[in-house]
């Protein structure tokens, strides 16, 4: 089926068009620049930007895919989790589009969409092996840090653990601020860390020490790490010493990467699932990719990382999930659905 996907859960206005598992277009407009001076995503600003970007993005996506709207078989839209106001703009647009075109609509879960991204192939590249089940998925972005056990994309997704405070991307953004680096902090810290020693400072590994693993086996915590970096930097400043930005960045990054992969590999081992899928904007992190490759290799786990344009928020992954639901024979959503900012990951379709 030819499916148009709409994603507006955070600061990306994403429109994607797929035919089954073939990616036809993936248009993304981000309001990130507008949030930069606030140091994080401002919900009201994001919602307004979606309203402005949606129609141009739909036009650009259909043009790039070389199709007209009339050819679309179904509309898929993110209905949660995410920022309420931002989600509502996409949901409203998707309903209007489906009603005017007379197509069914599929209201889907954003996090499950991130997993669905791994199904997509371009026309040129049909070679890569398809997503296999079961798989463990680690999703890390500015808003989420979740570990999932995916037995079947359209019918069985289980949340194993998530962050109990800050998301990993949020931690990168906050630590960058402490170091005087601009927003978004992830790429800045990645760059600064190139010159630094990851073993210079031993920052804490929240919830991943042996004593925590019993109670919080798959949960994450990054706020203690952030506070620890803040305190370390403050002490240097109070003493009148220069702050070794590169060493702090490299040591902080090492801690985040260690926490994330300790948990992800533990889940693969515990559930005897020899596959790990990574998703979310933090996957851009160079050290995370490197250590993920090393540790999965050592444990005999197959590592899957979709292209970065499909890891960050996008409409193509939402369209891909919609197409899977259709192919599995699921009924469309009734038009009564709304936006659910805390939609649990086990609710794949609303």
Binding site for ligand ATP (CB under 6 A): 9-11, 82, 141-144, 169-170, 172-173, 184-187, 190, 280-282, 284-285, 312-313
Euclidean distance between CA atoms 87 and 6, whole angstroms: 10
Restricting to residues 68-97, name those near Fe ion by CB under 5 A: none
Residue from 11, 118, 166, 219 binding Mg ion (CB under 5 A): 11
Query: Is 313 annotated among the ligand-binding residues?
Result: yes
Interaction of residue 247 with Fe ion, rule CB under 5 A: no
Euclidean distance between CA atoms 307 and 83, whole angstroms: 25
CA separation, residue 87 to residues 29, 315, 342 (Å): 15, 13, 11
**CB of residue 41 vs Mg ion: minimum separation in angstroms?**
7
* Partner from Mg ion, Fe ion, ligand ATP, none contacting 173, C-beta within 5 to 8 A by type: ligand ATP
Closest to ligand ATP by CB, 285 or 324:
285
Query: Is 116 annotated among the ligand-binding residues?
Result: no
Residue 87, helix vs strand vs coil: helix
**CB of residue 27 vs Mg ion: minimum separation in angstroms?**
15
Tokens of 315: 């409409």
Nearest to 146 by CA among 157, 132, 131: 157
Q: Is 240 exposed, middle or buried (0-12, 13-18, 19+ CB in 10 A)?
A: exposed
DSSP 8-state assignment for residue 154: T
Residues with Cβ < 8 Å from 213, sequence gap 6 or more?
A: 207, 266
What's the number of CA atoms in the CB half-sphere (13 Å) around residue 51?
Answer: 10
Interaction of residue 254 with Fe ion, rule CB under 5 A: no
* Partner from Fe ion, ligand ATP, Mg ion, none contacting 187, C-beta within 5 to 8 A by type: ligand ATP
**CB of residue 322 vs ligand ATP: minimum separation in angstroms?**
18
220 touches 161 (CB < 8 A): yes
Closest to ligand ATP by CB, 82 or 104:
82
Euclidean distance between CA atoms 204 and 251, whole angstroms: 10
Site residue total, Fe ion (CB under 5 A): 2
Closest to ligand ATP by CB, 9 or 26:
9
Restricting to residues 288-327, name those near Fe ion by CB under 5 A: 313
Euclidean distance between CA atoms 18 and 21, whole angstroms: 6
Interaction of residue 109 with Fe ion, rule CB under 5 A: no
Query: Is 257 annotated among the ligand-binding residues?
Result: no
Residues that bind Mg ion (CB under 5 A): 10-11
Binding site residue list for substrate: 139-143, 173, 186, 190, 285
Residues that bind Fe ion (CB under 5 A): 141, 313
């Amino acid at each position: 089926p030819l499916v148009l996907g709409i994603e507006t859960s955070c600061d990306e206005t994403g429109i994607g068009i797929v035919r089954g598992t073939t990616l036809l277009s993936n248009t993304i407009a981000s309001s990130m620049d507008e949030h930069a001076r606030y140091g994080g995503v401002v919900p009201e600003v994001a919602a307004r930007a979606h309203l402005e970007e949606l129609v141009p993005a739909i036009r650009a996506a259909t043009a790039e895919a070389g199709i007209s709207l009339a050819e679309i078989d179904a509309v898929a839209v993110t209905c949660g989790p995410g920022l309420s106001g931002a989600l509502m703009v996409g949901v409203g647009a998707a309903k209007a589009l489906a009603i005017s075109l007379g197509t069914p609509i599929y209201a889907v879960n954003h996090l499950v969409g991130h997993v669905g991204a791994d199904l997509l192939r371009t026309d040129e590249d049909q070679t890569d092996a398809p997503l296999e089940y079961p798989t463990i998925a680690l999703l890390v972005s500015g808003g989420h840090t979740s570990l999932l056990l995916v037995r079947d994309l359209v019918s069985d997704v289980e949340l194993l653990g998530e962050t109990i405070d800050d998301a990993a991307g949020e931690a990168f953004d906050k630590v960058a601020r402490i170091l005087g680096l601009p927003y978004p902090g992830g790429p800045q810290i990645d760059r600064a860390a190139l010159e630094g020693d990851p073993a210079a400072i031993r920052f804490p590994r929240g919830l991943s020490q042996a004593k925590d693993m019993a109670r919080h086996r798959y949960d994450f915590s990054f706020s203690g790490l952030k506070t620890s970096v803040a305190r370390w930097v403050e002490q240097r400043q109070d003493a009148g010493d220069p702050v070794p930005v590169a060493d702090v960045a490299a040591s902080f990054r090492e801690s985040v990467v260690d926490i994330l992969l300790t948990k992800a590999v533990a889940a693969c081992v515990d559930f005897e699932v020899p596959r790990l899928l990574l998703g979310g904007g933090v996957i851009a992190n160079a050290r995370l990719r490197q250590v993920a490759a090393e540790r999965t290799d050592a444990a005999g786990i197959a590592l899957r990382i979709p292209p970065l344009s499909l890891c960050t928020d996008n409409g193509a992954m939402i369209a891909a999930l919609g197409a899977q639901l259709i192919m599995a024979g699921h009924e469309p959503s009734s038009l009564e659905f709304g936006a659910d900012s805390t939609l649990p990951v086990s609710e794949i379709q609303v």
